[in-house]
Amino acid sequence: MIEYDKPMDIERRSFEIITQLLGERVIPAENELVVKRVIHTTADFDYAENLAFSDHAVAQGIAALRAGCDIVTDTQMARSGINKRVLEGLGGQVHCFMSEAEVAALAGRRGSTRAAASMRWAAEHVKKPCIFAVGNAPTALLELGELIRGGALSPALVIGVPVGFVNVVESKQQIMDAGAPYIVARGRKGGSNVAAAICNALLYTAVDALDPARRGWQG
């Protein structure tokens, strides 16, 4: 029997089920909203164990969003999944520079991937505080680590959740050691959808809109 067919009710019921299935697992209250949003997006309860947070990362991300920071992503998929209406209401924008001709040229000159070049381009050209959300390319995360360690970038938060098998685990560890606030999915799991889910969890909290009705959902 179909119990719930309206989007608002489906989301509410989904979060109730997630809470039930998490059972006795202890998740710090500050991080719970992010963990549950990622599980809601992926239906993967491993994220209750493998999401790692620097001290006060969630609070720092929310504060940055409320202050009007931008978000830089490494894929158009992540960019598409982030709630731009909420972000713009806070004074921010979301960027993905992967398709820019200047980024392709920079990658060619440096002999790097376009994803890595897009992070360097953002660091040099976005003249406001940023959250960097990487869900696909470990080379983008490695580039961010180099920029942070070299003093060329001080991000409001790094969301490091690339997925795959080559340099993925290593890139995440480098970000965790770089000294910037981070939310990282340890291990090989992740993805652009996970990066967007984390951004949205922070955005919805920043505007007190965790319940879908607060985001203008009807029915």
Q: Can you tell me whether residue 151 is helix, strand or coil?
A: coil
- Three-class SS state of 28: coil
Token pair in block for residue 42 = 């992926």
Cβ neighbours for 17, distance < 8 A, ≥ 6 positions apart: none
Residues whose CB falls within 8 Å of the CB of residue 183, separated by 6 or more in sequence, listed in order: 34, 51, 52, 53, 54, 57, 58, 61, 157, 158, 159, 160, 161, 198
Length of the chain, in residues: 219
Q: How far apart are CA 87 and CA 214, in angstroms?
A: 15
Compute the distance between CA of residue 216 and CA of residue 201 in angstroms, rounded to an integer: 16
- Is 40 an annotated catalytic residue? yes
- Of the residues 40, 56, 95, 125, only one is catalytic, namely 40
| Residue 129 near residue 70, CB atoms below 8 Å | yes
Residue type, 118: S
Q: Which residues are catalytic, by number?
A: 40
